[in-house]
């Protein structure tokens, strides 16, 4: 009897130690678990005894979102080895007076090429000085100060002991974030996941003193490269040219695609305009291929010599960058992007009555909802279509292993109207898109129905 009691006490003590150890490991304060236990609605919480309870999952999700946000905003994946060390882009930003080359990039120039400033990273005193006109926005030194504050979205400066800019790396936020302009145009609170359609990536890259890391693998001269970069214009980038070497369309037009948003993507099967793959597929691709971070990327589809002559030659389809600074971050980055909701349109930005009528047109007469299935506004399943089905040429589709276009998810469409619609922005306005479908699908929409449909698209 006595023995059993001692064993019982020992067992209780051991259990308590194990539970405490569990709390410590999970980083959950003991009272949080106790709270969870006492607030259940009839269901007994098992979180205090089992690390597989609901709390564990919530905690895990929260941690993934937090880490994913850090990665999305602040991780360069070691890309400074490319943009800074190789291309010397930081020298063009600093300018001759600050140890670089040329005139340098002033905050005014930076804002003019679409770079955005995180107002929360700028101390209040400095913000006041900017308001009072006491900060020289024409001086590259001010740009360097902003970089030191980590205030330029998507661009990280690396400084030496003397405070000189020694390198520069890029982050996801460079293309997929903007600000709410609450301080002034281009300066405000971060809006993660929004497409930066002001950003002139081509103009920024052209500034680099050494473009050989681009021209050599592509086998083109600097003049041709600069012409291609200048062709993109604001809000566009060519994520595939370094695999297929197609810097221009056969008709001589630019070959970049619009920067899409990285919000509202949960539930969507294939990603990118041409459905290359899932979010983590594409994040690995972009991190390694386009940002030139150090990491692993593998896709045997890009070994095809005809479709991807450059990737097949350079072996880029099977990249094993060391150290791998990307793979361990893909899961968190994935969860973070899936957690970003598509933003709702501001009040008064569309006509409510017209939009309600437009919803009906979208779902019935115009048959839009057969492909853009609400509420995902893309197909559950294999969400791809041939170029002919959407009435556009195959150039961009044929640069993808799918040879198709992905049904674009439309939630938050209102936030990325700048630069036009469809993968390359070929339709300037929503009305142009609607007219295109009207002709292609012989919808016989009236002017009123077209106008209503347009208001509905702005409401998504």
> Which single residue is written with the structure tokens 């369309």?
249
- Which of 372, 363, 375 has its CA nearest to residue 266? 375
Site for ligand HEC in 315-334 (CB under 6 A): 333
Nearest-angstrom CA–CA distance, 443 and 365: 7
Binding mask 425-444 for ligand HEC (x = CB under 6 A): --------xx--x-------
Site for ligand HEC in 184-213 (CB under 6 A): 201
Residue 259 · residue 253 · CB < 8 Å: no
Please tell me the number of Cα atoms within 13 Å of 154 on its side-chain side: 24
End-to-end CA distance of the chain: 71
User: From the CB of 9, what's the least distance to ligand HEC, in Å?
Assistant: 53
Q: Which stretch binds ligand HEC (CB under 6 A): 13-21, 89-97, 133-141, 273-281?
A: 273-281
Provide the 10 A C-beta neighbour count for residue 308.
Answer: 24
Site for ligand HEC in 337-396 (CB under 6 A): 337, 366-368, 370-372, 385, 389-390, 392
Contact call for residue 408 and ligand HEC (CB under 6 A): yes
Binding mask 79-98 for ligand HEC (x = CB under 6 A): --------------------
User: From the CB of 33, what's the least distance to ligand HEC, in Å?
Assistant: 34
Q: Which stretch binds ligand HEC (CB under 6 A): 9-17, 46-54, 95-103, 417-425?
A: 417-425
Interface pick for ligand HEC out of 33, 407, 415, 459 (rule CB under 6 A)? 407
Contact call for residue 229 and ligand HEC (CB under 6 A): no
Provide the 10 A C-beta neighbour count for residue 20.
Answer: 11
Interface pick for ligand HEC out of 175, 220, 338, 339 (rule CB under 6 A)? 175
Question: Of 208 and 410, which CB lies nearer to ligand HEC in the complex structure?
Answer: 410
Nearest-angstrom CA–CA distance, 56 and 58: 6
Site for ligand HEC in 124-153 (CB under 6 A): none
Contact call for residue 172 and ligand HEC (CB under 6 A): yes
Question: Of 138 and 447, which CB lies nearer to ligand HEC in the complex structure?
Answer: 447
> Which single residue is written with the structure tokens 């492909």?
371
Contact call for residue 286 and ligand HEC (CB under 6 A): yes
> Which single residue is written with the structure tokens 């556009």?
392
Interface pick for ligand HEC out of 357, 423, 450, 458 (rule CB under 6 A)? 423
Contact call for residue 241 and ligand HEC (CB under 6 A): no
Dihedral sign computed on CA atoms, order 219, 222, 224, 226:
positive
User: From the CB of 262, what's the least distance to ligand HEC, in Å?
Assistant: 4
Interface pick for ligand HEC out of 262, 289, 310, 460 (rule CB under 6 A)? 262
What are the residues whose beta carbons fall under 8 Å from the beta carbon of 405, sequence distance 6 or more? 273, 274, 275, 384, 385, 386, 387, 390, 392, 396, 397, 423
Contact call for residue 283 and ligand HEC (CB under 6 A): yes
Nearest-angstrom CA–CA distance, 61 and 67: 10
Please tell me the number of Cα atoms within 13 Å of 443 on its side-chain side: 23
Question: Of 89 and 291, which CB lies nearer to ligand HEC in the complex structure?
Answer: 291
Contact call for residue 405 and ligand HEC (CB under 6 A): yes
Dihedral sign computed on CA atoms, order 340, 341, 345, 346:
negative
Interface pick for ligand HEC out of 359, 376, 422, 455 (rule CB under 6 A)? 422
Nearest-angstrom CA–CA distance, 287 and 294: 8
- Which of 426, 361, 436, 374 has its CA nearest to residue 396? 426
Residue 258 · residue 195 · CB < 8 Å: yes
Q: What is the dihedral of CA 388, 394, 398, 402, to 10 degrees?
A: -20
User: From the CB of 175, what's the least distance to ligand HEC, in Å?
Assistant: 3
Contact call for residue 174 and ligand HEC (CB under 6 A): yes
Residues at the contact surface with ligand HEC, assessed by CB under 6 A:
72, 170, 172, 174-176, 201, 237, 239, 257, 259-260, 262, 265, 271-274, 279, 282-283, 286-287, 290-291, 333, 337, 366-368, 370-372, 385, 389-390, 392, 405-408, 410, 413, 421-423, 433-434, 437, 453, 457
């Amino acid at each position: 009897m006595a023995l059993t009691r001692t064993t019982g006490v020992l067992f209780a003590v051991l259990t308590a130690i194990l539970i405490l150890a569990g709390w410590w490991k999970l980083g959950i304060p003991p009272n949080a678990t106790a709270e969870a236990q006492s607030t259940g609605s009839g269901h007994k919480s098992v979180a205090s005894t089992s690390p597989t309870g609901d709390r564990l999952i919530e905690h895990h999700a929260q941690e993934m979102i937090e880490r994913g946000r850090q990665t999305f905003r602040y991780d360069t994946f070691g890309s400074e080895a490319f943009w800074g060390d190789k291309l010397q882009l930081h020298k063009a930003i600093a300018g001759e007076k600050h140890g670089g080359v040329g005139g340098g990039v002033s905050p005014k120039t930076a804002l003019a090429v679409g770079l955005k400033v995180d107002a929360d990273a700028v101390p209040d005193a400095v913000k006041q000085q900017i308001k009072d006109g006491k900060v020289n926005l024409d001086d590259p030194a001010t740009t360097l100060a902003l970089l030191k504050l980590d205030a330029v979205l998507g661009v990280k400066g690396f400084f030496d002991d003397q405070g000189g800019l020694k390198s520069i790396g890029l982050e996801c936020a460079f293309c997929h974030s903007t600000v709410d302009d609450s301080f002034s145009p281009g300066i405000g609170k971060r809006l993660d996941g929004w497409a930066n359609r002001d950003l002139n990536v081509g103009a920024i890259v052209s500034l680099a003193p050494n473009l050989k890391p681009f021209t050599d693998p592509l086998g083109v001269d600097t003049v041709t490269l600069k012409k291609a970069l200048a062709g993109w214009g604001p809000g566009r980038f060519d994520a595939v040219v370094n695999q297929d070497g197609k810097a221009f369309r056969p008709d001589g037009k630019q070959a970049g695609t619009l920067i899409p948003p990285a919000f509202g993507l949960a539930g969507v099967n294939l990603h990118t305009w041409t459905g290359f793959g899932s979010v983590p597929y594409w994040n690995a691709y972009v991190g390694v291929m386009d940002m030139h971070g150090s990491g692993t990327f593998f896709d045997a589809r890009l070994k095809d010599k005809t479709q991807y002559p450059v990737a097949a030659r350079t072996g880029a389809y099977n990249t094993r960058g060391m150290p791998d600074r990307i793979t361990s971050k893909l899961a968190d980055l994935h969860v973070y992007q899936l957690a970003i909701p598509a933003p709702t349109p501001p009040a008064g930005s569309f006509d409510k009555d017209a939009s309600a009528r437009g919803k009906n047109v979208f779902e019935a007469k115009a048959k839009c909802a057969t492909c853009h299935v609400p509420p995902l506004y893309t197909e559950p399943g294999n969400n791809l279509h041939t170029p002919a089905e959407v009435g556009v040429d195959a150039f961009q589709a044929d640069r993808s292993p799918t040879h198709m276009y992905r049904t674009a998810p439309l939630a938050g469409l209102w936030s990325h109207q700048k630069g036009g619609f469809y993968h390359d922005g070929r339709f300037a306005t929503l009305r142009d898109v609607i007219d295109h479908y009207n002709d292609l699908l012989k919808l016989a929409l009236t002017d009123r129905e077209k106008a209503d449909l347009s208001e509905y698209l702005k409401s998504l």
